[in-house]
Amino acid sequence: MEAYAKSKHLRLSATKARLVAELIKGKNVDEALAILKVLPQKAARFFEKTLTSAVANAENNFDMDRDALYVYKAVVDAEGPLKRLYIRGMGRADIQRKPVSQITIVVKEKEEV
């Protein structure tokens, strides 16, 4: 059984956020949250909120045991860029593109063998 959470329209680069995603994949939920708390990256704050939401979904909606949960998947997708006008001299304007991303975290229970 799996539970997931998504965060959309986040103002951060997908490339930089994927570095944080690689750190928590396959880790126990408590261990992943501890790692995210000490990371200095901006993306770590977004991952922390999304992971907390995924754990809450697993506990409340699917009656999963928090101690048996681990991060099954952590995916960062790039959305289309946020476009803003950048005013230049002599009546000209350029388009400034700002990166926008979305985070999906899937948590799963460890199967006892």
Q: What is the model's pLDDT at position 104? A: 98
Burial of 45 (0-12, 13-18, 19+ CB in 10 A): middle
9 — alpha (psi -120 to 50), left (phi > 0) or beta? left
> How confident is the model at residue 1, as a pLDDT?
87
Q: Indicate if the pLDDT at residue 111 is higher than 90.
A: no
C-alpha–C-alpha distance, residues 91 and 28, integer Å: 55
Q: Where are the domains of the chain?
A: 2-109
**Rounded mean pLDDT of the chain?**
95
- pLDDT digit string, tens, across residues 61-89: 999 999 999 999 999 999 999 999 999 99
Return the CATH class of domain 2-109. alpha beta
Residue 109: phi and psi, rounded to 5, are -85, 140
Does the pLDDT of residue 113 top 70, yes or no? no
